[in-house]
Structure 1
């Protein structure tokens, strides 16, 4: 029997009571029975065609007259892409359910008060595609839980939409993501039309306004944007900024930025209020990771060409003040003497040295009191190195204490003689009760350095842990007993470890060395009992043989490393200054 004959037969029997079952075939299944399966009143058979149910949207489905709704009514919902069936819940009511498992539509609405609380989020800009930052927050009231769809349309190229399920009744706020791209600016705001489950909201007059800013049009005027900035404490760049020129042809909000280089990016944003030539100030974001020259590409939201910016990050000049005399401090030593030559050697301390820095050395001789304070303030001193035979008086101790604690400078306190004065300075700075004494004829010229991982003992020149430092002659050197708790022991007397030769404060910029000649040395000096800081021409660092058990055994020697210890100490002081020192502080 052909498919057409079966259809005609089926059509012809609708006029009288059908007592048998019916089967429709399209011939795509060969040799199958002509009659329907016994348990089916109606069977369709095909392997090339399907059964097509009525197709309609949720809105069309909901428009079916109530009188025509009956248990089991089936449609295909084109809104949800699922089959829906009607189920009678009582004699006079029922609801649609989805075969996909979606619950029936929720009952919800928006009150007048809630309408006033609808809020748009993000920047809506003419011609700019909307993203996750653009959405509409809508408060609403749910009386019956279920599935929902909320859509807010505009006539300006974009809309908001969200679907989901309300699991309970109550008051909720739903965020509707934006889709599209505003075509025109709208200073007064685009009106949004609200549809709740595809039904327009008509119970109240609720038309949320969405403001769209005009697309700004401007061009960067590319010039030779090249700037230098000197790094402050903590590598900060302070109030540094970069000004660039632009030509504005259409007013609106602008944003100009660079990528990040060396830990720093630059940006500016605002609104142009004048057509024509304008100046934008780019502000830095971040902290420089190092010194050097870095190139940036400047881009903008105008879509115009990018410009180049070159920024040279410079270390500020670190100023070292020497107090004392002769070869024992960097301000009075010459270029063949270690106290100065080590610092002026650009391989050690220079723009491309082991320590990248520019140093300036100032001589303060034996300045005390107000003169000392004036030198520190007028020269913006960062590091003070005390050498032989500078003995600070009480007023100078107050100045130095202020320099360390408030300006956050570094004091390298090398002293012999006047044990009581040395103790006063140590205890003023530390708040401790250090006892300082003189150890004459200790039968050794050596001090042994601590085996701890402190920067002064480990970097950047050589690792000095457990090595020796020599004293410049053995008379009148000072040593600490009862070391304050906030001091770190860096070196002790070789023959008496209870006596501290070198120590530093645990948090402040302060180092004590009980020998005012520990940095002394000259090119070519081979003495075994004086000038322990050995150098070659130009200030290159050397170790040196030195007396050990003198005068008991004049043949007993050991290697001392004062030059390296001095260089490591200055390197530590420089890093401390970069991170902590306030160059603008004036000692009162």
Structure 2
């Protein structure tokens, strides 16, 4: 009897395994056929749950691929695939439009300025979402680089929106573009980056010869480059609100101090043949150290007072200068400094003309340790011509001609700055064999001075 029972049971199971199953029908048309042959008026009711993640495999592990359920939250049927739970199986059918992203209608907030840490938000709207999950969003801008749009991970359901945070320092003015990709849909948006506009700067020019400091008319580069809207206008290469230029002549002592205090001076540019006396050295040092303004000092006229000023500002005592004839031109170093690689161009390693092509002051000994050398006597790194303090607003140039030039002067041994009729810097043929980039150096220096002065100048400070 037992052997007969075993045999009957085996026949029963083999019949199940190797045949079709019909529910409501004696003639199944597949492995499983749920039907009523006469009426066909009853549907299949699927397991229903508010979240497919709640479904389990009674054998353990993941839900079996092919598992199907009704998502009561999204009101749709979903199936488990090798990649996870699908979106709604009918998310693209019928008259209802499918899931989509919209970058055009959501609000954009924030101010974005070139070279300045900026931030804002952008709202991305979506419609007819069916549980599209996405990871943490991080989108780097294209076009104008330097900005990143971010948002935490999440899931899209129905109609709603995502708020992106936008932050960073834009590389330039212009348009920064972003492309958002979520759940197979994408859209783009952009933000406008404005040029940084600096407040109006008060500039004091000191010189005995007006073409070597910005005190004369716009014939000469020392002033024309500053007043050119193409360079420093609100829509210029380096946007500013312009300059208030004060002519200081060769003022010394109390007269110099009053000019600085009464005019709230941000930048002092000293040109040829101004030799500060000891009282003026103390005032200029106080201006750089305490008011934290910018001093551009060029001199090739006096061996004793120039090193005194440098030593006072740079905190040393051993700097001495020497005057060398016959240089004709000098070479800029390759350091990545804003004067050599700034908004008006990368001029690292380029040549600059020596005014009158014969004499300049070079550092003979005791170069301060807290400065960056920007130019050397050509082919001679042992004789620095130009340097900038690493933390204070101080630049020294041992050739006053670095401030001289005009749009019409084509001589190749005087006034090494080249510029066009609009005051924009350009190269100038020099010494019959080379090209001077002095105009770009001067324009970059002014841009650096403006930025430094706006950040560091204490407009309420009075030099005692």
TM over 0.5: yes
Corresponding residue number in structure 1 for 2:455: 579
Q: 1:420 to 1:475 in 2, by over 3 A?
A: farther
Task: Report Cα offsets for 1:256-280 as digits up to 9, x if no partner.
Answer: xxxxxxxxxxxxxxxxxxxxxxxxx
Corresponding residue number in structure 2 for 1:433: 317
Task: Report Cα offsets for 1:37-76 as digits up to 9, x if no partner.
Answer: xxxxxxxxxxxxxxxxxxxxxxxxxxxxxxxxxxxxxxxx
Contact 2:222/2:404 (CA < 8 Å) preserved in 1?
yes
Pairing 1:156-171 to 2, within 5 Å after superposition: none
Q: 1:526 to 1:356 in 2, by over 3 A?
A: same
> 1:315, CA displacement in angstroms?
3.4
Task: Report Cα offsets for 1:171-196 as digits up to 9, x if no partner.
Answer: xxxxxxxxxxxxxxxxxxxxxxxxxx
Q: Which has the larger radius of gyration?
A: 1
- 2:372 aligned with 1:488, yes or no? yes
- 2:446 aligned with 1:562, yes or no? no
Structure 1: state its 5+ residue gaps.
Answer: 1-233, 236-287, 293-312, 548-554
Query: How many residue pairs are counted as aligned between the two chains?
Result: 278
Pairing 1:30-45 to 2, within 5 Å after superposition: none
Give 1:466's match in structure 2, choosing from 336, 349, 356: 349
Pairing 1:240-251 to 2, within 5 Å after superposition: none
How far apart in 1 are the matches of 2:233 and 2:320? 37
Corresponding residue number in structure 2 for 1:324: 207
Pairing 1:274-313 to 2, within 5 Å after superposition: none
Q: Secondary structure at the match of 2:412?
A: coil
Give 1:454's match in structure 2, choosing from 337, 348, 367: 337
Q: 1:468 to 1:314 in 2, by over 3 A?
A: closer
How far apart in 1 are the matches of 2:289 and 2:228? 30
Task: Report Cα offsets for 1:461-503 as digits up to 9, x if no partner.
Answer: 0101100111111454211133110011000000422101100
Task: Report Cα offsets for 1:101-152 as digits up to 9, x if no partner.
Answer: xxxxxxxxxxxxxxxxxxxxxxxxxxxxxxxxxxxxxxxxxxxxxxxxxxxx
Pairing 1:144-155 to 2, within 5 Å after superposition: none
Task: Report Cα offsets for 1:216-236 as digits up to 9, x if no partner.
Answer: xxxxxxxxxxxxxxxxxx99x
Q: Secondary structure at the match of 2:229?
A: coil
Give 1:354's match in structure 2, choosing from 237, 262, 276: 237
Contact 1:440/1:474 (CA < 8 Å) preserved in 2?
no
CA RMSD, 1 decimal? 2.7
Corresponding residue number in structure 2 for 1:73: none
> 1:537, CA displacement in angstroms?
1.1
How far apart in 2 are the matches of 1:422 and 1:345? 31
Structure-1-length-normalised TM-score = 0.45
Q: Secondary structure at the match of 1:342?
A: helix
- 2:363 aligned with 1:363, yes or no? no
How far apart in 2 are the matches of 1:404 and 1:396? 12
Give 1:338's match in structure 2, choosing from 221, 227, 234: 221
Q: Secondary structure at the match of 1:448?
A: strand
> Relative contact order (alpha carbons < 8 A, sep ≥ 6): 1 or 2 greater?
2
Q: 1:463 to 1:528 in 2, by over 3 A?
A: same
> 1:397, CA displacement in angstroms?
0.4
How far apart in 1 are the matches of 2:244 and 2:212? 14
Structure-2-length-normalised TM-score = 0.56
Q: Secondary structure at the match of 1:566?
A: helix
> 1:327, CA displacement in angstroms?
4.1
Give 2:430's match in structure 1, choosing from 546, 549, 554: 546
Pairing 1:355-394 to 2, within 5 Å after superposition: 355-358=238-241, 359-394=243-278
How far apart in 1 are the matches of 2:284 and 2:252? 10
Pairing 1:133-282 to 2, within 5 Å after superposition: none
Corresponding residue number in structure 1 for 2:402: 518
Corresponding residue number in structure 2 for 1:401: 285
